[in-house]
Amino acid sequence: MMLERGVEVDHTTLYRWIQQYAPEIEKRLRYYWKPDMGYSWRVDETYVKVKGKWTYLYRAVDSRGHTVDFFLSATRNFKAAKHFLGKALKSMKSWDHPSSINTDKSPTYGIDIERLKKEGKCPEYMNHHQVKYLSNSIESDHGKFKRLIKPTLGFKSMKTAYKVLKEVEVMYV
C-alpha cells in the first residue's frame, strides 16, 4: 500500500512499528474482544525461540477459538502455570469466568487450579478437564501462530517477543 503511493518502507521499519504500536492497539481493542469469551477455555503451551533459547508461550483460547490471554515464560513449571492462569482469570470480570478449563495431561495445571480456588482467585464451580481431543483447537492454533512467527527467526529479547506476540494475538481477533 505504501509502495503504491511512492513510499518505500523496509521490513525492519514495519517490525519497529509493530513493536511500538502493538501495546497501544491491544489496549484499545481489549474492551471489544474480551466480552464475547466462551464459557469453556482450552489452555496449552508451546515453544518460541528467544535469544537462541526455547521459551514457553502459555496460551488460553475460548471454545470459539478467541484468544483469552497469553504469557511468555522462561520456565515451564508450577509457578509459571499458576501465574498465567491467575493473569488470565484476573483479566476477566468475575461473572465472565469459565465454567470449565481443558488442559493437556500436564500435572501443573490441576494443582495450580486447586491452589487458585483455595486463594479465591478462581471460582469453586469451575471444572478442570484433561481431555485430549478438546485440546485439538488450541494445538492447531499453535501451527497458525508459529507460521506467522517463523520468518522472525526467533526474538532478541523477551520484551520484543512479548510485543510482537501481542500484535499477533490482536491480529487474530
According to DSSP H, which parts of 57-125 are helical? 78-90, 107-119
Mean pLDDT, each 10-residue run in order, the chain (173 residues): 78 81 77 62 90 90 83 91 91 82 88 91 89 78 77 82 81 63
- Domain covering 19-172: architecture: 2-Layer Sandwich (3.30)
| Per-residue confidence (pLDDT) for residue 31, from 0 to 100 | 61
What is the residue extent of each domain of the chain? 19-172
| Per-residue confidence (pLDDT) for residue 82, from 0 to 100 | 92
Q: What is the pTM of this model?
A: 0.75
**HEC string of 151-172?**
HHCCECCHHHHHHHHHHHHHHH
